[in-house]
Structure 1
Amino acid sequence: MSRDVEGTTVMARAIAVKAQHEFGAAMPADTVVLDFADRNRPGLKTSGVRGLAIEFDLPEAIMLRGGDALVLDDGRLVDVVAAPEQLIELRSRTPGDLVRAALQIGSRHLAAQVLPNGIRLRPDAAIETVLAALGVKITSIETSFDPEGGAYAASAHDHDHHDHDHHGHDHAGHGHEAHGHKADDHKHHDHDHGGHDHDHHHPHD
């Protein structure tokens, strides 16, 4: 742990990641709720929901995903939850239209989350104009973002990400998706959510 000049504990250092970790009966030391950008920000300094100050000191670039656990320098674990954020979701009438949309997204090297029948990405006015011209339906939503990873992300997670179950401990009071739940499992709702943590969809004009 880092300490100030008076010896008071300042923050714990996160030095490794356990991919899609299951806590079981054990309780994590704390939980961090982070959006996609913060989950992949080197040297991030943040606080858990119970007040634990944490500094990322990971040895290499890792695509941190919701459901992973940070390993602190004292051996404790911190649960990682993917925070909801503003996204756009693409749907199309034909698979071909979606493939053409994917090619446009890939050519611009934009982070994208591939669903069985759609694509999610962060709002981007330029690409939205291109996609609209292709006839793709664009819907504004609020949910967690778990895009496809590059080679470094695959190597960091492959040893744990196969055949895992998602841990089911509760995070009462957080308006976010639970750990590692597949994004395509979420139903679209047009009614008022009244504080429920469903995806929120707002079709573009």
Structure 2
Amino acid sequence: MLQASKRIPQGQGLASVLIRRAATVTLDWDLRQKSRFDCTDSQDRHVGVFLPRGTLLRGGDVLLTVEGDLLLVVAAPQSVLRITHCPEHGSPFDLLRAAYHLGNRHVPIELQPDHLKIEPDHVLADMLCQMHLTVAEAYEAFEPEAGAYGEHATMGHSHHSGSHAHHHPHVTAEHHHDPVH
């Protein structure tokens, strides 16, 4: 059995030829948010994954095994609800409203410019339909947001990396709040 104990976010620093040659592990969202699990790779090898607690795997991440093998993580298609605005009765702004309401319920949600995705839930689907949104069942990869306190690196963006300072002028004459980011 192979043992994978290190995650390389999006294969950063690896030559693309190495990533293309790597075996794959196709995992749904449920597994990709666990730090310890077993799976089988594309070469039919048994893999035990032992990552630090709280680690999220994203499609495109690479696992490094103790034996030195690279395993490319593929987000498996799974049942999701795909939410779009209704062109007859609404506007794209309705997606923002939906994201707000889903966020208040702490629902894992994938945000895209023209749609949202959540795991199937008939109560939420009914709520979204009442908001005049179109809700369709789909079978697609699911990559929800990590959240405000999740792993920032999982989405490839960090405000606090290296020596690159990143500041926003938050205080103006008409706009006052704590400028701490």
1:155 Cα deviation after fit? 4.1
C-alpha deviations, 1:141-184, integer Å up to 9, x for none?
11101111133321456479xxxxxxxxxxxxxxxxxxxxxxxx
Identity %: 28
Q: Which amino acid aligns with 1:17?
A: R
Question: Are the aligned partners of 2:111 and 2:145 in contact in 1 as well (CA < 8 Å)?
Answer: yes
Q: What corresponds to 2:17 in structure 1?
A: 25
Please give the residue correspondences for 1:93-172 in structure 2 after superposition, counting only pairs within 5 Å: 93-150=90-147, 151-155=149-153, 158=156
Other structure's SS at 2:152 match: helix
Other structure's SS at 1:80 match: strand
CA distance in 1, matches of 2:50, 2:157: 21
Other structure's SS at 2:125 match: helix
Q: What corresponds to 1:178 in structure 2?
A: none
The reply on whether 1:51 has 2:44 as its aligned counterpart is yes
> Greater shift after overlay, 151-160 or 124-133?
151-160
CA distance in 2, matches of 1:53, 1:23: 25
After superposition, the Cα gap between the structure-2 partners of 1:38 and 1:18, relative to the gap in structure 1 and judged at 3 Å, is same
CA distance in 1, matches of 2:32, 2:107: 17
After superposition, the Cα gap between the structure-2 partners of 1:66 and 1:135, relative to the gap in structure 1 and judged at 3 Å, is same
Aligned length: 149
The reply on whether 1:87 has 2:87 as its aligned counterpart is no
**TM-score by structure 2 length?**
0.75
Computing the radius of gyration over CA atoms, which structure comes out larger, 1 or 2?
Answer: 2
Give 5+ residue unaligned stretches, structure 2: 159-181
**TM-score by structure 1 length?**
0.67
Give 5+ residue unaligned stretches, structure 1: 1-10, 161-205
**Which portions of structure 1, spanning 4 or more consecutive aligned residues, are displaced by more than 6 angstroms?**
none
After superposition, the Cα gap between the structure-2 partners of 1:112 and 1:95, relative to the gap in structure 1 and judged at 3 Å, is same
Aligned CA RMSD, in angstroms, stands at: 1.9
Q: What corresponds to 1:189 in structure 2?
A: none
1:104 Cα deviation after fit? 1.6
1:44 Cα deviation after fit? 0.6
Q: Which amino acid aligns with 1:64?
A: L
CA distance in 1, matches of 2:124, 2:109: 12
After superposition, the Cα gap between the structure-2 partners of 1:159 and 1:116, relative to the gap in structure 1 and judged at 3 Å, is closer
CA distance in 2, matches of 1:135, 1:156: 32
Other structure's SS at 2:101 match: helix
CA distance in 2, matches of 1:33, 1:75: 19
